[in-house]
């Protein structure tokens, strides 16, 4: 039998078909269109994606005995309900029951997406072999997953670990959660896109040329890659955007280090694909501000595909395989392969 893992984001819905050996045998994705769809329409899109996924593998949903959904926001895994997500329309939404009805798969689980990612990294990824780690995901929002003594921490009400909604600038930029100055409003891919557009408008107003505009026109849109791509080409305005973005990211990460002092912080999401362009300037800023820096052992930093530590290049080269296994383990875990209650703190 097979399981399906769903990575539900504000931009895309990704799905992986997992066999009993924890191997992802097929993947697919579709746009979420979160701002244009209701909760029910998003769930229907997930069901359609599940059907297409198994059909592409020569299977049917009868060959699937469980589905796991990793969703942003407050996910009540005990009752299969997403209580709230600021980047999706879910409000007290029974997503597991609805998806079970649409697919005919009776066993459906839901978990916060960053918690799922954090557990995957702890089991078989960059945080493997550690007891205390933190996962940060940089996507439509900023997600956070906390592992303490090998268990996911989510508070008494499933809402713990929403690290993206720690305020880093009082009365700052508005966040979709309703507050101002949240880390998410400065360090998500959405925030980077906003900063890029603001710099493009500033350059246009001042009559300055910038590759930001050229790169955006080529792609037909501004994305989280636009500023990094233009910076690599030597554009000064793009470098200002990237430097500002990284400074905000460093501020939030320093807070996470000072609160949790984890052994490893893993960074995932689309922005993490920038790897050295992101981490080389980021790590010194965090270490410079870390409480007890130079005296206490330093937290190690990692992106999802390899560990960015003073360790050997051999550890880096093995990162891709570990990441595949981590994702498979996360999918399998939340689809019922593991006893979830044994790996969770209230």
Residue range 260-298, pLDDT digits in tens: 999 999 999 889 999 899 999 999 999 899 888 766 666
CA torsion sign, 161 to 162 to 164 to 168? negative
For residues 196 and 73, membership in a common domain is answered with: no
* Higher pLDDT pick, 269 / 196: 196
Residue 204 DSSP code: H
For residues 271 and 302, membership in a common domain is answered with: yes
Within-domain flag for 319 = no
Neighbouring CB atoms inside 10 A of 269's CB total: 24
Q: Quick check: 215 pLDDT over 70?
A: yes
Cα–Cα dist 342/81, whole Å: 20
Cα–Cα dist 50/70, whole Å: 14
Any idea which residue has 């593998």 for tokens?
A: 57
Domains: count for the chain = 2
So what's the pLDDT on residue 124?
78
Segment 118-134, tens digit of pLDDT: 988 898 788 989 999 99
For residue 209, the enclosing domain spans 117-314
For residues 92 and 131, membership in a common domain is answered with: no
So what's the pLDDT on residue 324?
46
Cα–Cα dist 330/22, whole Å: 9
**What does 52-68 look like in DSSP terms, one character per residue?**
HHHHHTT--GGGEEEEE
Q: Please report, for the domain that includes residue 147, its CATH number.
A: 3.30.420.40
For residues 160 and 32, membership in a common domain is answered with: no
Token pair for 128: 């493997």
For residues 132 and 280, membership in a common domain is answered with: yes
Within-domain flag for 41 = yes
């Amino acid at each position: 039998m097979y399981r399906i893992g769903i990575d539900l984001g504000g931009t895309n819905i990704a799905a992986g078909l997992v066999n009993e050996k924890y191997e992802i045998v097929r993947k697919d994705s579709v746009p979420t269109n979160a701002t244009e769809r209701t909760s029910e329409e998003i769930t229907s899109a997930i069901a359609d994606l599940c059907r297409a996924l198994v059909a592409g593998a020569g299977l049917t949903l009868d060959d699937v005995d469980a589905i796991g959904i990793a969703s942003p926001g407050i996910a009540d895994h005990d009752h299969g309900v997403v209580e709230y997500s600021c980047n999706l329309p879910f409000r007290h939404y029974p997503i597991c029951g609805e998806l079970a009805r649409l697919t005919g798969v009776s066993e459906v689980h839901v978990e916060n997406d960053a918690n799922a990612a954090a557990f995957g990294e702890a089991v078989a990824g960059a945080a493997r072999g550690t007891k205390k780690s933190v996962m940060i995901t940089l996507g439509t929002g900023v997600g956070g997953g906390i592992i303490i003594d090998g268990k996911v921490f989510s508070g008494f009400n499933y809402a713990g670990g929403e690290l993206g909604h720690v305020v880093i600038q009082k009365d700052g930029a508005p966040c979709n959660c309703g507050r101002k100055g949240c880390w998410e409003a400065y360090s998500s891919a959405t925030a980077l896109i906003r900063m890029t557009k603001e710099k493009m408008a500033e350059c246009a107003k001042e009559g300055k040329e910038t590759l930001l505009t050229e790169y955006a026109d080529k792609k037909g849109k501004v994305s989280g890659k636009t500023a990094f791509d233009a910076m690599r080409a030597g554009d000064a305005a793009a470098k200002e955007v990237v430097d500002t973005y990284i400074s905000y990211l460093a501020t939030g990460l320093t807070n996470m280090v000072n609160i949790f002092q984890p052994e490893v912080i893993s960074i995932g999401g689309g922005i993490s694909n920038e790897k050295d362009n992101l981490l080389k300037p980021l790590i010194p800023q965090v270490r410079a501000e870390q409480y007890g820096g130079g005296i206490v052992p330093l937290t190690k930093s990692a992106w999802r595909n390899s560990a960015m530590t003073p360790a050997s290049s051999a550890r880096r080269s093995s990162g891709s395989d570990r990441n595949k296994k981590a994702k498979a383990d996360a999918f399998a875990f939340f689809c019922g392969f593991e006893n979830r209650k044994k790996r969770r703190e209230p």
